Amino acid sequence: MFDDYLSWKPYFEIVPMVHADCADVSELHGQRFSHKWGDGEFSGLLSQPSVFGVVARQTNAFFSKPLGGFVLAREAGGEAEILTIAVGEKFAGSGLGWRLMLAAMREADMRGAETMFLEVDGANASAIRLYRKLGFETVAERQAYYTDKNGTKSTALVMRRDLR
């Protein structure tokens, strides 16, 4: 019994994002990005037929289903793009980003996408590693595209992957 307690680890289900998720999603977005998107922005995007999202909800918490991460994407005309993705800091590195990306790629494929694009800060090494391992390749660079809070500029990488 005590051993079970010591080996307790969070389990997550990967499920479609619905409007009721948007407040938690916005909260987590604000924890992981300097420019927080409000829940109204997420809800507005999710209302668009071309936009879809996926969330990771913890299934073995005591009182609720805490949000572990989310991804929001768009599919139109055979092309999909990742709009934003984040995993809670305490769950980072445990495979949630991978699972969310796979779910988004699968949904995009089902909606008819042949390719998926995303844009990432060239300084975001952990995200770039994840995308490369998933088969994304850099197809364009936008120099001095991002500016951090200290005024330092960094390059945006546009990455692409075939889905078929």
Ligand X SMILES: CC(C)(COP(=O)(O)OP(=O)(O)OC[C@H]1O[C@@H](n2cnc3c(N)ncnc32)[C@H](O)[C@@H]1OP(=O)(O)O)[C@@H](O)C(=O)NCCC(=O)NCCS
Q: Which residues bind ligand X (CB under 6 A)?
A: 32, 85-87, 92-98, 120, 124, 126-127, 129-130, 133
Q: How far is the CB of 2 from ligand X (least distance, A)?
A: 29
Residue nearest to ligand X (CB): 97
Handedness of CA 47, 55, 89, 156 (dihedral sign): negative
Please, which residue, 115 or 124, has the CB nearer to ligand X? 124
User: Percentages helix, strand, coil for the chain, rounded to the nearest 5?
Assistant: 35, 35, 30
Q: How far is the CB of 99 from ligand X (least distance, A)?
A: 7
Strand 79-87 relative to strand 115-121, pairing: parallel
Please, which residue, 112 or 144, has the CB nearer to ligand X? 144
Q: How far is the CB of 11 from ligand X (least distance, A)?
A: 14
What distance lies between CA 56 and its chain's CA centroid? 10
